[in-house]
Amino acid sequence: MSGKKKKQIKLATKSEHVQSFMPMLEALQAQNELNQVLKNRVEKACGLLDEGVPLYPNDFSKDTEVSDIWAIMTISEEKSWRLWARSLNLPAGYHS
């Protein structure tokens, strides 16, 4: 065991959520890649979590089908769409 002490990581937050980020912060510090930008991001993430905001919400709900949109399009809109799709070099199924 080396006699080196781990350098304490200081953040400008007292959030209880900091502990969940410590393994990442310690790994970055061990590789000498921990910087102020990353610390700021962790502080901001902790602030959001403290306010009850989920960092990666998974609440997307699909309420429209593409077929519904196609059904209400006019002929000129459909032609425009197909021309636009061709300009993107999409596979034939997207614009045929």
Q: Which candidate, 18, 44, 17, 96, places its Cα nearest to that of 9? A: 18
Confidence of residue 23 (pLDDT cuts 50, 70, 90): very high
Q: Please give the mean pLDDT across all residues of the chain.
A: 84
The pTM of the full predicted model, rounded to 2 decimals, is: 0.56
Confidence of residue 90 (pLDDT cuts 50, 70, 90): low
| 66-77 average pLDDT score | 75
pLDDT of amino acid 62: 78
**Nearest-angstrom CA–CA distance, 33 and 16:** 24
